[in-house]
A and B are shown apart, each in its own frame.
Chain A
Amino acid sequence: MFGAYILKRLLASIPTLLLVVTLVFFILHLLPGDPASIMLGFAATEQRAFELREELGLNDPIHVQYGRYLVNALRGDFGRSMSTLMPVNRLLAERIGATAELAVAGLILATVLGVIVGIISAVNRGTWMDTGGMVFALAGVSIPSFYLGLLLILLFSVNLGWFPITGTGGIHRLILPVCALGFEVTGIVTRLVRSSMLEVLRQDYIQTARAKGLMERTVMYKHALKNAMIPVITIVGLQFGRLLGGSVIIENVFGREGIGSLLVSAILAQDIPLVQGTVLMIACVYVLMNLTVDLSYAIFDPRVSYR
């Protein structure tokens, strides 16, 4: 039952991915500038540029190029990067781990911390704890991640020496970038959890649960929170896209390699195959993440069934 649903959803995501690929393809081909001349750099003459375009298939009509790209993509062949001559797959494989690690950890941090602070705020509404929570959330959405990253480096790496700055691998290298990246989404989740909880706590069934003599803790977590989480899950899923985008900045600030920085340099070099491959990869990751989020509704909302 579950399996059939997953398959259906995956098939349904294909049109989305196709649309993404098509858009990127046509945008790249509309950009001014000739990729062959760029690749050849100083050695570019009319003749050589033409020959190179022939080799790369860039002189063919655009629908032919598009068709060829789709056929290759279906076979998992995304061609070679024009700026480094290396296979696109290899470049992506080298770097996807670091970005995924960063974005997923950011999401987990944002969700866990956001839920905790949101609940505390909601349950202690009107007290200093609520105010504190809301200031925390406001700071999250106001402070640019770039700036926060540099502040964290200054305090925790340079002054206190607790964490290293560069490189990947190991939890201690992940903590600062994840905090910088996830803080904004944490703020968003906090506010949402708080308002959602307050909304739910006003409902009649909460009164009923209390009247039935259930422990406050059971009322809170088994009844209130579970229901409060439904809109939160939707938002969290959408925020993952923001985290993927934000990873470009954070990768830059912390000197981490990743898909984000790869994409930026590929765009600047007008490296068409690399840009296409990277964008498609990001789109796939996003689609999968959304699917995971949707599936988690089943845990929280028994009304949802999967057919």
Chain B
Amino acid sequence: MMVIIMLFGLVASGCGQKPTTDPEATGGDFKIAMAGTADVLDPHVSGARRSHTICRLIYDPLISRDFEDQSYKPGLATEWSWNEDHTAVTLKLRDDVKFHDGTPFNAEAVKFSLDRIVDPATMSKAARSYIGPYQESVVIDEFTVEVRFSKSVAPTAIFDAMSKVHLAPVSPTAAKAAGVEDFGRNPVGTGPFMFKEWTAGNRITLVRNPDYNWAPPIYKHQGPAHLDSITFIQIEEAATRVAALENGEVDAICEVAEESVAAMVADDRFNTFSAENPGSPIIMWMNTEDEILKDIRVRKALLYAFDQQELVSTVYMDLFPVAKGPLAPSTWGYNPAVEDMYLYDPDKAAQLLDEAGWKLNARGLREKDGKIMQIEILDLGDPRRIEFFQGKMAEMGIEVDARVVTSDYLWEITRTAEGYQMGSTWFGYTDPHVMYLLYHSSNVGTGFAISRWQDAELDRMLETALSVADTEERRQLYFDVQEFIMEKALMIPFMGRQEHSAAWNNVKGYFLEFEHPVLYEVHFDSAR
């Protein structure tokens, strides 16, 4: 209990708090160890999570997002205005920015960058889908650019995309010279840190950009960073990361394993940080076209039969948030009403299964028309939650086979209805718009909408929410969407995701924004 209280305290203090900075504190080489590393440092191309942690320092996004209330603030763009039918937005840009190679930042650079994302030669992984129905950019004057879309878009969805580093401007000079293949290893942006070297595959070093003077207003200071350099080191093994922190080889680590969190919290030498990841939590999809699962009574039964609180408490030591709906609780627009929709009720589950014709046979297994109820689940590899799920289903008399697969395989196999029954995924996203990707009928068969549920009513709600500009109206629409999705029993929420991080106590200004450490204002306040 004490641990939970302490953790809540740290969560409250560790994320969303505006860091204070000591103007005297400059210098130092900061080292941070993470489980993953970048694939390439080209924000337009990359698909790896940690590329974006690092790219946030090399590049600046067009628009910034406030850490506390998620509102949109200026970034490299200072003002914006949409046209009547939301097919174009005009951005006014800062005129005092330059790229690390001296190239001036202007409307041409923004046009170049956005065009680059949609250019097939770039082979963009994530950026391409964030940019939506982008058509072209038109340079109005040196610091004004009009971004045009081929159809009407939701302003908030586009701002969400522009606040990500995926759409950040890159130096046209450097990008043209290096070409797509080499730019990812020699990145040039406008950010507070410049790329120095990438050694031997797993160690990336950045150095301070001394000319930096244009940090967005979401930060307390706007000038050059305090640190001399930052080195990102990849250490895949969780125990080794902790050891590297303890013996002082690194100043901070990410992805602290659950087993180590309590020890880190108790240890005075370190501060711990924790942040919940927004978007779609870890959910177990149900294929609504499957023979067994097409019956809504069966789907609802599975929902009543699963106890998320027990999973999080017993298996994950309460270090992850409980999820009861299609959005993680930390996502803007989360509807708490979903928490009461399927309270754990094994008796109700049994009753529903009986009604659906699946009765317990002599061996204690559910049987209908001579067939035993067997379900195969595809999971991305956490044996703990798989086993817990199998256990809970076994209590209902349902046999569950589990197969561990890679996310690429899951992506492929869920394109056709015959390939699977249930599969688990999660999708980190800062906006409820993620539900469009995962539940709109147009995304069935793309590997996204894995439940395969096609519903005109749901589509209409999602499309309306997309085009509405008023925040409150939008929130209410998404509230309805979440209840609707749960009502139709399209998936079983498992748990949210939470990032745990730890740093030596002489590290100041460090905090987490969702899964990413924010390092721009980090400084050391004393030697260790």
Binding site for B on A (CB under 8 A): 32-34, 37-45, 48, 51-52, 80, 83-87, 91, 94-95, 98, 150, 153-154, 157-158, 161, 164-168, 252-255, 257, 261-262, 268-270
A45 to B447 alpha-carbon distance, docked (Å): 10
CB-based nearest A residue for B129: A42
User: What per-residue 1/0 map shows which CB atoms of B123-159 lie under 8 Å from chain A?
Assistant: 1111011000000000000000000000000000000
Q: Are A32 and B47 in contact (CB under 8 A)?
A: no
Q: Is B180 an interface residue (CB 8 A)?
A: yes
Residues B184 and A33 in contact, CB atoms below 8 Å apart: no
| Chain B residues close to A by CB (< 8 Å) | 33, 39-40, 45, 47, 120, 123-126, 128-129, 180-181, 184-185, 200-203, 233-237, 239-241, 243-244, 246-247, 249-250, 406, 408-409, 411-413, 446-448
- The contact sample of 10 A-B pairs, CB cut-off 8 A, is A33-B412, A39-B125, A40-B125, A41-B47, A44-B446, A166-B250, A167-B233, A255-B202, A261-B236, A269-B408
Query: Which of B125, B129, B244, B411 touches A255 (beta carbons < 8 Å)?
Result: B244
> What residues of A have a CB within 8 angstroms of the CB of B123 in the complex?
39-40, 52, 85
B409 and A161: CB pair below 8 A?
no
Q: Are A270 and B408 in contact (CB under 8 A)?
A: yes
In the docked arrangement, what's the CA distance between A45 and B247, Å? 48
Q: Which of B39, B124, B234, B413 is within 8 Å of A43, CB to CB?
A: B124
CB distance from B203 to the nearest CB of A (A): 7
CB A47 to nearest CB in B, in angstroms, measures 11
CB pair A165–B243 under 8 Å, yes or no, is yes
Give CA–CA (A269, B237) in the complex, Å.
19
Contact B45–A85 (Cβ < 8 Å): yes
Across the interface, which residues of A come within 8 angstroms of B447, CB to CB?
37, 44
Known: A32-B412, A150-B240. A43 touches B128 (CB 8 A): yes
Nearest CB on A from B141, distance (A): 32
Inter-chain contact B33/A255, CB cutoff 8 Å: yes
Query: What distance in Å separates the Cβ of A189 from its nearest Cβ neighbour in chain B?
Result: 27
Assess the A153–B243 pair: CB atoms within 8 A: yes
Is the pair B406, A166 in contact by a Cβ cutoff of 8 Å?
Answer: no
Q: Are B247 and A165 in contact (CB under 8 A)?
A: yes
- Which of A84, A257, A270 makes the CB contact (< 8 A) with B200? A257
Residues of B within 8 Å of A158, CB to CB, are 243, 246-247
CB distance from B87 to the nearest CB of A (A): 21
Known contacts A95-B200, A166-B249: A153-B406 contact under CB 8 Å = no
Compute how far the CA of A154 lies from the CA of B243 in the bound complex, rounded to whole angstroms. Answer: 7
Cβ contact within 8 Å between B240 and A153:
yes
Chain B positions within 8 Å of A45 at CB level: 446
Known: A98-B200, A161-B247. A255 touches B185 (CB 8 A): no
A51 to chain B, nearest CB (A): 7
Known contacts A40-B123, A84-B39, A94 near B184 by CB under 8 Å: no
Residue of A41, A85, A165 near B244 (CB, 8 A) is: A165
Closest to A38 in B: B408
When the two chains form their complex, are residues A42 and B128 in contact, meaning their CB atoms are under 8 A apart? Answer: yes
* A255 and B126 contacting across the interface, CB-CB below 8 Å: no
Beta-carbon contact of A37 and B236 below 8 Å: no
A253 touches B237 (CB 8 A): yes
B317 nearest CB across to chain A (Å): 21
- Do the beta carbons of A150 and B411 come within 8 Å of each other? no
Q: Which of B45, B128, B201, B409 is the most central at the interface, judged by chain A CB atoms within 10 Å of its CB?
A: B201
Closest to A91 in B: B201
CB contacts (< 8 Å) of A42 on chain B: these are: 47, 125-126, 128-129, 448
Pairwise interchain contact B237-A252, C-beta atoms closer than 8 A = yes
> In whole angstroms, how far apart are the Cα atoms of A158 and B185 in the complex?
33
**Chain B residue with the shortest CB-CB distance to A257:** B201
Shortest C-beta distance, A149 to chain B (Å), equals 8
Q: For B250, what are the chain A residues with a Cβ–Cβ distance below 8 Å? A: 166
Kindly provide the distance from the CB of B510 to the nearest chain A CB, expressed in whole angstroms. Answer: 20
Indicate whether A38 sits within 8 Å of B411 (C-beta atoms), given known contacts A84-B40, A158-B247, A166-B249: yes
Q: How far is the CA of A268 from the CA of B47 in the complex (A)?
A: 14
Q: How far is the CA of A43 from the CA of B129 in the complex (A)?
A: 6
| In-complex Cβ contact of B185 among A80, A86, A95 (8 A) | A86
Q: Are A80 and B247 in contact (CB under 8 A)?
A: no
Select from chain A the residue with minimum beta-carbon distance to B125.
Answer: A41
Q: Give the Cβ gap from A194 to chain B, nearest Cβ, in Å.
A: 34
A161 to B185 Cα, complex, angstroms: 34
Question: B235 contacts A166, CB within 8 Å?
Answer: yes
Q: How far is the CA of A45 from the CA of B446 in the complex (A)?
A: 7
A80 touches B411 (CB 8 A): no
Contact between chains at A252 and B412 (CB < 8 Å): no
List the B residue with the shortest CB-CB distance to A36: B123
A41-B126 in contact (CB<8A)? yes
Q: Are A84 and B184 also in contact (CB < 8 A) when A168-B200, A255-B235, A268-B406 are?
A: yes
Q: How far is the CA of A48 from the CA of B125 in the complex (A)?
A: 12
Partner of A37, one of B185, B233, B411: B411
- Let me know if A43 and B125 touch, CB within 8 A: yes
**B39 contacts A51, CB within 8 Å?**
no
Q: Give, as a whole number of angstroms, the nearest-CB distance from A251 to chain B.
A: 9
CA distance A32 to B406 in the complex (A): 11
Shortest Cβ distance from residue B5 to the other chain A in the assembled complex, whole angstroms: 29
Candidate in A40, A42, A51, A86 with the most chain B CB atoms within 10 angstroms: A42
Residue pair A86, B240 in contact (C-beta under 8 Å):
no
Query: Would you list the 7 A-B pairs with minimal beta carbon distance, nearest first?
Result: A255-B235, A257-B201, A43-B128, A41-B125, A42-B129, A257-B202, A257-B200
Cα A167 to Cα B231 with chains together (Å): 12
Once the chains are docked, how many angstroms separate the CA of A158 from the CA of B243?
6
B418 CB, min distance to chain A CBs, angstroms: 13
Closest to A80 in B: B181
Chain B neighbourhood of A43, CB < 8 A: 124-126, 128-129
Q: Measured between alpha carbons, how far is A34 from B415 in the docked complex, in Å?
A: 12
Of residues A41, A158, A168, which shows the largest number of chain B Cβ atoms within 10 Å of its Cβ?
A: A41
Further pairs besides A41-B47, A158-B243: 9, Cβ < 8 Å: A38-B408, A40-B123, A42-B126, A85-B40, A95-B201, A153-B243, A165-B235, A166-B250, A253-B240
> A161 CA to B247 CA in the complex, in Å?
7
Cβ of B249: which chain A residues have Cβ within 8 Å of it? 164-166
Q: Nearest chain-A residue to B419 (Cβ)?
A: A32
Report whether A165 and B240 are in contact in the complex, using a CB–CB cutoff of 8 Å.
yes
Residues of chain B within 8 A of A254, CB atoms compared = 237, 240
Docked pose: A266 CA to B181 CA in angstroms: 17
